[in-house]
Structure 1
Amino acid sequence: MIFIVLIIFSLVFFVYYKVQQSRVSGPAERRWYSAKGSIAIGIFFISFGINSYLSLGTQVSAYVTVLFVGFGLVNVIFGAKHYKTFLPLARKEIEQRQS
């Protein structure tokens, strides 16, 4: 049950961040929202993979779980790196726009 809720929330956040990414004007702020979306889709892949293994429990679902968890971890790790990189730049863009 927890993985189904996590799947739904991560998809909602992914769509939200992608919409926000298209609305902002600054390039660093756009990349910042893209990094957040990457983290959200990574959490989706991890949750979906684990949920598929727990519900099916077959050898094929174990392979699918390994693929999805691996791909999800790559998205989360690189998304977090990009988030840390673009957060200060996005803050500068927001401050410049407000002043």
Structure 2
Amino acid sequence: MTHAEAVRAAAGGAVVVYWRKGCPFTARSRLVLGSRAREAVWVDVWADPDASAYVRSVDGGDEVVPTVVIGGRPHTNPSPRVVARALAARRR
């Protein structure tokens, strides 16, 4: 998914995860989330320059992943439990 599509999804209440291949923190989140990970919108910052620029804009110039948008607010490397709670809240 592209950053532009993710922005629209986030406006609709989706949980958006900005990630990149090889990131151990992203891998941990995916592992902890299990099948719930499919409920989030995933955007690879290495595949989309706009996604990379967005992450740097909200993380003080650094490309920190995962950066997760929940309720329209970016969260830098949140606990997987925070993401799981946000996904669960969307199902209610």
The normalised TM-score by structure 1 is: 0.30
Which structure: larger Rg?
A: 1
TM-score where L is the length of structure 2: 0.32
- Judging by fraction of residues, say which structure has more strand: 2
